[in-house]
Amino acid sequence: MLKGILLNSENYQPGLSIDCVIFGFHDNQLKVLLIKTPYENKWSLPGGFVPLNQDIDTAAVTVLNERTGMQGIFLRQFATFGRVKRNDQHFGNAVLDYFKIPEEAGKWFTQRFVTIGYYALVDFLKAVPQKGNNQEIIEWIDHKEVPELILDHKEILDKALDTLRTELNLMPVGYNLLPEKFTIPELQKLYETILDKKLDRRNFLRKITNIGILNKLDEKKSNVAHKAPNLYTFDKEKYEEVLKNGLNQGW
């Protein structure tokens, strides 16, 4: 991918890149999608460069698809990272030698890059990445067991997680992350996993009920050891209305 961009660098915006933080949730696990290239000992976020003929948001979708094969992922822009030396010496001689890129031609890569961060939250069993390069490794890794990352990608990841947690106060989550029918404890566990803290059961029930996005069913969860909890579904129309208008509460 890098060599192809270099050969056509006139088609890309100089000094601008995109990095995507893709969080995956399933069965009370929160993971992040990471890539390991054959020329790096460290892992990285899926990232890439901005084509001149694409808007930034479109370019983010393009970058994610080219690096992971993922499509239909709703990406939210959350921050810009532009420290003076954030990518200093990153594309050094080892990388240029790996791709057999002459030093003079490699100067396009060694310039200062400002990167725009995007994040998404998906079900990691449904969002299956595809390797764009057979020599790359791409994996869902537990967000608490992230290995050493390149550049300032740990800073980008931490900022994305902080943003995700903040946005739980502004919008609901759970649609497409839980089974069609779920219990309040299952929904609460989703919030607790993302927030990394315990929530009071009664307060959570009161707050989530007041949002008005749940439909209580005349069904109870089967195959449970204790008293069977009620099952719920999301009211898709009301859920989308709240997404549009936002929330004003804290967890």
CB-based burial of residue 221 (10 Å sphere; 0-12 exposed, 13-18 middle, 19+ buried)?
A: middle
**91-127 pLDDT tens trace:** 766 777 777 777 777 788 888 899 999 999 999 999 9
Backbone angles phi, psi at 88, to 5 degrees: -60, 125
Classified as helix, coil or strand, 33 is: strand
Per the model's pLDDT, the better-predicted residue between 65 and 86 turns out to be: 65
Mean pLDDT of 128-143: 87
Domains of the chain: 2-167 (3.90.79.10), 184-245 (1.10.10.10)
Angle, alpha carbons 54-14-88 (nearest 5°) = 130
Query: Angle between the 201-211 and 184-195 helix axes, to the nearest 10 degrees?
Result: 100
DSSP 3-state assignment of 47? strand
More confident call, 111 vs 203: 203
Confidence of residue 2 (pLDDT cuts 50, 70, 90): low
* CA-based nearest residue to 105, from 5, 201, 20, 208: 5
pLDDT at res. 31: 98
> pLDDT: is 109 or 7 the higher one?
109
Handedness of CA 91, 143, 27, 162 (dihedral sign): negative
Nearest to 47 by CA among 84, 1, 91: 1
Distance CA 210, CA 40 (A): 49
- Separation of alpha carbons 213 and 211, rounded Å: 6
Q: pTM of the prediction? A: 0.91
Q: Tell me, what amino acid is at 47?
A: G
- Locate tokens 């067991």: which residue? 145
pLDDT bucket at 221, cuts 50 / 70 / 90:
confident
Q: Is the pLDDT of residue 77 over 90?
A: yes
Distances (CA, A) of 135 to 4, 21, 37, 139: 16, 21, 7, 13
The per-residue pLDDT for 184 is: 96
Q: What is the C-alpha to C-alpha distance for residues 129 and 67, in angstroms, rounded to an integer?
A: 9
- Give pLDDT tens digits for 43-73: 999 999 999 999 999 999 999 999 999 999 9
